[in-house]
Amino acid sequence: MTDVPEQPDEPGTPAGGNGKPSGTDASAMFAEGMAAAARRAGFTPADEGEPISGRALLAAMGGIRGLVEAVLPGLVFLVTYTFTRQLVPSLIAPVAIGVAFIVARRLVRQTVTPAVGGLVGLVISAVLALLTGKAQDFYLPGFWTNGAYGAALLISVLVGWPLVGLAVGFLMGDGVAWRADASKRRVLTILTLCWAGLFGLRLGVQLPLYFSGNVEWLGAAKLLMGIPLYAPLLVISWLMVRSVYRAADEDAEK
């Protein structure tokens, strides 16, 4: 979750004696943080009442620019290493592209935060590969990320607070009331398990390729198990969320 900068207390807003946010403020920041997490995951279209279409799905994933920034560096690394078998130029190429993304965003006066985050990830990957001299170590941060996300999602289900439910609940203005609705809780739990399964599947396929040193197939698997798996699961998730929330609204109107 991203850090939320502290804001000065508004008149009439209770705060602790030490100037820290009150319990109400903290709850509001937590709610907005979870809603923001849902938006970043691509759930914004349903919040705006838009139909799930190709255009809405593309916008949810950051548009054409977002897709290019997500796919191109890894593709360039894979292609460069496959043809040259040289580690250093293969690492320089995606990092240079990451820098170019930042410059391009600055030129059109768009926020550079996504591009900076991507560049930091590329630099970490490149440094790891340089330190070990193994091209497959370029993909190590991806394993850590998938493992962390998958574990967090799975643990959240085991403790009875599925993370997809928290994110979607606050985005839909439902808070944690969905936990009292058996249908919503079941659907949101299933979706959390599905997303945990996606991250687990990536690890299950890619780790054996990593340990075998098969860089070409590892890179291809990473690309194929990225957007091509993420997008359909996002659509299915929103269809299920809309269905269960619509059914709940219809029951409430009766």
Residue-wise pLDDT tens digits, 175-211: 888 999 999 999 999 999 999 999 999 999 999 999 9
* Residue 8 domain flag: no
Output the pTM of the full model: 0.78
* Residue 108 domain flag: yes
Mean pLDDT for the chain? Answer: 81
Burial of 161 (0-12, 13-18, 19+ CB in 10 A): middle
What is the residue range of 105's domain?
57-253
DSSP secondary structure of 107-123: HTT---HHHHHHHHHHH
* Residue 50 domain flag: no
| Residues 129-185: tens digit of each pLDDT | 999 999 999 999 999 999 999 999 999 999 999 999 998 888 888 888 899 999 999
Q: Please compute the mean of the pLDDT values over residues 215-223 and round it to a whole number.
A: 96
* Structural contact between residues 203 and 242, judged by C-beta atoms closer than 8 angstroms: no
Q: What is the 3-state secondary structure (H, E, C) of 162-188?
A: CHHHHHHHHHCCCCCHHHHCHHHHHHH
* Residue 51 domain flag: no
* Residue 201 domain flag: yes
pLDDT, greater one: 144 or 39: 144
* Residue 91 domain flag: yes
| Number of folded domains that form the chain | 1
* Residue 195 domain flag: yes
* Residue 94 domain flag: yes
DSSP state at residue 137: G
Please tell me whether residue 21 adopts helix, strand or coil conformation: strand
